[in-house]
Amino acid sequence: MNQGRMWTVVRPTVGIPIFLGAVAVVSLIVHYSILTHTTWFPAFLEGGHKKVSMEIQTTVPAAVAPQNVVILG
């Protein structure tokens, strides 16, 4: 282990829970700040882009398969 001597100063029963608690707190802070400072994240969580995808699905087949197709043969 690279930092093995650290556990002679801090017991693993104290250091590991503090480390995992700090990771959890930082994660919650980051997620909260993204949720409150952006407009796209709340819409993403609520599924706000479903209408856009339906519009794209209805317009794509018309552009891909034109009505006036001449078959030579």
Q: Convert the pLDDT of each residue in 2-53 to its tens digit.
A: 878 877 888 989 999 999 999 999 999 999 999 889 888 877 877 755 555 5
The answer on pLDDT for 56 being more than 60 is no
Query: What pLDDT, on a 0 to 100 scale, did the predictor assign at position 45?
Result: 79
Q: Residue 59 — very low, low, confident or very high, per pLDDT cuts 50/70/90?
A: low
CA 2 and chain centroid, separation: 32
The answer on pLDDT for 72 being more than 80 is no
The answer on pLDDT for 57 being more than 80 is no
User: Can you tell me the distance from the alpha carbon of 21 to that of 23, in angstroms, rounded to the nearest whole number?
Assistant: 5
User: Can you tell me the distance from the alpha carbon of 73 to that of 63, in angstroms, rounded to the nearest whole number?
Assistant: 24
Query: 7 Cβ partners below 8 Å, 6+ apart?
Result: 15
